[in-house]
Amino acid sequence: MSIYQATASAPVNIACIKYWGKRDTKLILPTNSSLSVTLDQDHLRSTTTSRADPSFTKDRLWLNGKEEEINEGGRLATCIREMKRLRREVEDKEPNAPKLSTFPVHISSRNNFPTAAGLASSASGFAALVKSLATLYQLPAHPSQLSLIARQGSGSACRSLFGGYVAWEMGSKPDGSDSLAVEVAPQSHWPDLHALICVVSDDKKGTSSTSGMQQTVETSALLQHRIKHVVPERMEAIKKAILAKDFDSFARITMKDSNQFHAVCLDTEPPIFYMNDVSRSIIALIVEYNRVSVANGGGYKAAYTYDAGPNAVIYAPKENLKEIISLIVKYFPQAENFKDPFQLFGTQGVGAG
């Protein structure tokens, strides 16, 4: 008897223009477009194995070895259902293809980094799940098409289907069919840009992105300003900066957008704080580092960004990394031995998974 099983992995992506807010919570349609860089690091990935077997009694999923409930109508169930629907289209066209869409699936997924610590584990997780099912089902799907399904697992997951520089275009159709990820540039376009991830804390975050976004959409006036008057121009400006490999513009836009995202979180009722004192000290360090460089006639040397957690991601041209790491170790001596509460995760380049 044949064994139907496939394994795929997907990397984390870190947004420079943040997605924060849903206009449709069921389909996961965002209130603004966003743009991210997919990290190409061996230790920031989710790896997922899916197996279809007629002897299984139901769909089941294990995350890091622990079984998770697949709730009916929930996000996991939606992704699995949508992937089975695409498989059914293949089976309808090829009558001899095994009827995998009728078999229950068992899915096992592992992250090699802290789950839910503001390191976008849901992004790589849902992207790997969709990829592994696409491989299992032998779907001829383009990453943008798969992104439509990964989006319904976790919004930011749609961007992890591509390597390099990726936009999630918010779209305008009520059915979400144009809310998908597209490649802005492959990693090879600007391989000199590196990401340094500083794990300030690997505790689980206090407010999930789902409830944080809902609260923000309901109570923040600043979010409405951001959606209408800030993000559309910023998306265009950062795409231009990436295509021109203009680090000064890339850095300024990335830091401003991180700041506005956290300002929007503070503008909600009750306020949400994702950064802590160490996060803010890293911001001060990077601001000063850039100020000294500009005062000496140079350009920006690094850009910080923070997601829904206290961990810093620092984007910088490769040539500056040594200096940045020594600055961090100087001001945060705990970082030296890669120990808590401050670990350095590595400095590999960004890029395709």
Contacts to ligand PMV by CB under 6 A? 15, 18-20, 34, 120, 122-123, 154-156, 209, 307-308
Nearer to ligand PMV, 127 or 335 (CB): 127
| CA nearest to 308, candidates 276, 335, 283 | 276
Q: How far is the CB of 34 from ligand PMV (least distance, A)?
A: 5
| DSSP symbol at 342 | -
Q: Which is nearer to ligand PMV, 120 or 316 (CB)?
A: 120
**Least separation, in Å, of the C-beta of 305 and ligand PMV?**
9
Question: Least CB distance from residue 260 to ligand PMV, whole Å?
Answer: 12
* Tokens encoding 120: 């976008």
Smallest CA-to-CA distance from 208 within 340, 118, 137 is with: 118
Which residue lies nearer to ligand PMV by CB, 24 or 319?
A: 24
Residue 308: CB minimum distance to ligand PMV, A: 4
Backbone φ, ψ for residue 341 (5° rounding): -85, 15
Question: Helix H segments across the chain?
Answer: 75-93, 121-136, 143-150, 209-219, 221-225, 231-243, 247-266, 277-295, 321-331
Nearer to ligand PMV, 128 or 136 (CB): 128
CA dist., res. 341 & res. 339, Å (int): 6
- Residue 325 CA neighbour count, 13 Å, CB half: 19
Task: Kindly report the number of other CB atoms within 10 A of residue 204's CB atom.
Answer: 12
The neighbouring-strand residues paired with 78 are none
Q: What residues contact residue 264 under an 8 Å CB cut-off, 6+ apart?
A: 20, 216, 220, 222, 223, 226
Nearer to ligand PMV, 305 or 320 (CB): 305
Instruction: Report the residue number, 198 or 308, with the smaller CB distance to ligand PMV.
Output: 308
In the complex with ligand PMV, which residue's Cβ is closer, 183 or 307? 307
Q: Report in angstroms how near the CB of residue 237 gets to ligand PMV at its nearest.
A: 17
Minimum separation from the CB atom of position 193 to ligand PMV (A):
18
How far apart (Å, rounded) are the C-alpha atoms in residues 324 and 327? 5
Residues 6+ apart with CB under 8 A from 38: 11, 12, 13, 159, 160, 162, 163, 164, 165, 166, 187, 350, 351, 352, 353
- 121 and 46 in contact (C-beta within 8 Å)? yes
Minimum gap (Å) between residue 209 Cβ and ligand PMV: 4
Distance in Å, CB of 76 to ligand PMV, minimum = 14
The nearer residue to ligand PMV, 120 or 335, going by C-beta atoms, is: 120
Q: How far is the CB of 19 from ligand PMV (least distance, A)?
A: 3
> Which residues neighbour 211 within 8 Å (Cβ) at sequence distance 6 or greater?
none
- Alpha-carbon distance of 142 to 148, in angstroms, equals 10
